[in-house]
């Protein structure tokens, strides 16, 4: 039995096999850098498309009655057209960078600044900057927005999970979430709570790749993950799960 400790950010018990989230990262084909004016125009078009996608995600969440989720994507939409964000990207393009690299470098600089702040709220915004920038880079590189496949219901493990990544995953396949990093004030944690997905964050390197496929039980209230629980521990956790199900039945 392996006990892993982190921070519980979305209550509930979940049991199932561990699945490691893998991003399909496509390397962009090298291209000739055009003039700064044309690179800026490429960025602006990608920015406009990103704003449109986030607007659609916001509207869909509103229609489904998920107000917190709608507010999350609306915040991302506003961040995407933030004047300081635009200014930093434009400065890098003027210095001779292509649009994709300018966005990626800006994201790295701003996320590091946010992460270094003492205020937990601003620390959590580091992930948001990376998320919106990844969306713009994906558009610039010719990628399309789409769902990411999990082969079977599982507890999802990742180094970090962006809000937009979680929103695109099939909810019926996600039993729970465990991440190496993250923040309780981050939008991914807020989204997990809104979706009713038990989640534990901040486990660092305690979660090993070789655990994939093993049965895990996560306690989103206690911030604990148990891999290959022994009979006694599993019994206690299953009793908590049964009590949880009774609470759901009463609520429904």
Q: Residue 52 sits in a domain of what CATH number? A: 1.10.274.10
In a domain, 28, yes or no: no
pTM for this prediction: 0.75
> Would you say 224 and 200 are in contact if contact means Cβ atoms under 8 Å apart?
yes
Kindly report the CATH number assigned to the domain that includes residue 241: 3.50.30.10
User: Domain check: are 51 and 116 in the same one?
Assistant: yes
The pLDDT-based confidence of 178 (bands split at 50, 70, 90) is very high
User: Across all residues in the chain, what is the average pLDDT?
Assistant: 86
Does any domain span residue 30? Answer: no
> Does residue 29 form part of some domain?
no
> Could you tell me if 58 and 120 lie in one domain?
yes
Q: What is the pLDDT of residue 30?
A: 60
Instruction: State the pLDDT at residue 36.
Output: 93
Mean pLDDT value across residues 163-181: 86
**Contacts of 217 by beta carbon, 8 Å cutoff, 6+ apart:** 13, 14, 15, 225, 226, 229, 234, 237
Give me the mean pLDDT over the 233-248 stretch. Answer: 74
Say whether both 62 and 152 belong to one domain. Answer: no
Out of 90, 114, 140, pick the residue that ends a domain.
140
The 10s digit of each residue's pLDDT in 117-158 is 988 888 878 888 999 999 999 999 886 655 567 888 999 998
Split into its structural domains, the chain has a count of 2
> What are the tens digits of pLDDT across the range 181-220?
877 777 788 888 888 899 999 999 898 889 999 999 999 9
Asked if residue 88 and residue 6 are part of one domain, the reply reads no
Q: Is 111 part of any domain?
A: yes
Q: What is the pLDDT of residue 251?
A: 44
Residues 122 and 210 in one domain: no
Predicted local distance difference test score (pLDDT) of residue 85: 96
Asked if residue 156 and residue 207 are part of one domain, the reply reads yes
Q: 56 lies in which domain range?
A: 36-140
């Amino acid at each position: 039995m392996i006990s892993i400790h982190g921070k519980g950010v979305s209550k509930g018990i979940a049991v199932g096999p561990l699945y490691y989230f893998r991003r399909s990262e496509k390397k962009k084909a090298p291209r000739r850098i055009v003039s700064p004016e044309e690179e800026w125009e490429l960025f602006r078009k990608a920015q406009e498309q990103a704003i449109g996608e986030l607007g659609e995600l916001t509207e869909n969440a509103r229609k489904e009655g998920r107000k917190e989720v709608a507010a999350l994507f609306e915040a991302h939409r506003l961040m995407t057209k933030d004047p300081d964000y635009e200014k930093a990207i434009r400065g890098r393009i003027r210095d001779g960078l292509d649009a994709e690299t300018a966005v990626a470098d800006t994201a790295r600089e701003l996320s590091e600044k946010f992460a270094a702040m003492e205020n937990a709220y601003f620390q959590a915004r580091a992930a948001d900057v990376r998320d919106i920038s990844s969306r713009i880079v994906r558009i610039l590189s010719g990628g399309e927005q789409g769902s990411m496949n999990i082969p079977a219901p599982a507890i999802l493990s990742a180094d970090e999970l962006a809000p937009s990544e979680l929103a695109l995953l099939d909810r019926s396949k996600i039993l729970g979430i465990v991440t190496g990093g993250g923040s309780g004030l981050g939008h991914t944690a807020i989204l997990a709570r809104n979706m009713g997905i038990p989640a534990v964050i901040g486990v660092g390197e305690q979660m090993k790749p070789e655990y994939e496929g093993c049965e895990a039980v996560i306690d989103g209230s206690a911030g604990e993950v148990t891999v290959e629980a022994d009979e006694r521990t599993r019994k206690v956790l299953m009793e908590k799960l049964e009590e949880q199900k009774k609470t759901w039945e009463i609520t429904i």
